Homo-oligomer: A and B are copies of this chain.
């Protein structure tokens, strides 16, 4: 049996009791290390779980899925995923491979950012399509995801913006091409929350050199600044932007962890609010809010003076 086990959001103890029991009796335990970032290290997990973990990075999953699935028809293999196993496409891929090999699978669910964002008080059912905000480079500055934000807002729905990796480093060139094609087709969240732990420079990536740069996570500040630049571009083109400096947003950092931070304020305020270290997510609200949503957000509102004195520089 292949067990797909969600690890939840925060640390080692966010695994479910069921998940822990299952992984402890599996013959091999893989840890996906490519779609999200653990707030704790692999060693901490290993100590708490009492098991050695085999790191499965993206290349492992795509090119060596057969290693993971080896003998899973006669023994139990666990594949651990930060959050819930169904946040990223690739896990469907592993299940499909298993099914083709006649290997049964079971999913042990857990919290993911997709449902835990409800902690800010915005109603989950009022969220529209989720978008990914990617790091811009000098030559690659996609704005297409903004159409989805616009559509969500026109329909009164909130938008969860997953803030993604600096560049598509650590993907194989093939995967990278697939991702770029998918992005072109508007599947902006194809690799949602796919924040790279290992980073390659574009040059190294093209040359196939596996030299990784330090990871670089997008902050709410950076995402808000990119969004405001898109708003400016739309104004220049004479379009009516669906979002303005005054649009109510919510910044979230390290959701589920002890030092979780939530801040509600305008998009302008999101450019300067200090939420600390990764991971960050940003919500653009859908306009009219339910009174209970308003009241909950007020618990997290940014004090006026802390942001008014600052301006959006450095874009």
Chain A residues within 8 Å of B, Cβ to Cβ? 6, 8-18, 20-21, 84-87, 89, 92-93, 95-96, 99, 107-112, 114-116, 118-119, 121, 123-132, 151, 155, 157, 162, 187, 189, 192, 255-256, 290, 292-293, 295-296, 299
Contacts and interface: CB of A to CB of B under 8 A. Distances in A.
Given A8-B109, A109-B8, A14 B13 contact: no
A15 B17 contact: yes
A86 B9 CA distance: 15
A3 to B, nearest CB: 13
B84 A118 contact: yes
A76 B41 CA distance: 30
Contact of A296 (B13, B96, B126): B96
Contacts of A96: 292, 295-296, 299
A124 B87 contact: yes
A17 B9 contact: no
* Interface core residue of A13, A110, A115, A151 (most chain B CB under 10 Å): A115
Contacts of A132: 125
A118 B16 contact: no
B130 A157 contact: no
A84 B16 CA distance: 13
Nearest to A14: B16
Contacts of A157: 128-129
Contact of A8 (B13, B16, B295): B16
B15 A111 contact: no
A34 to B, nearest CB: 17
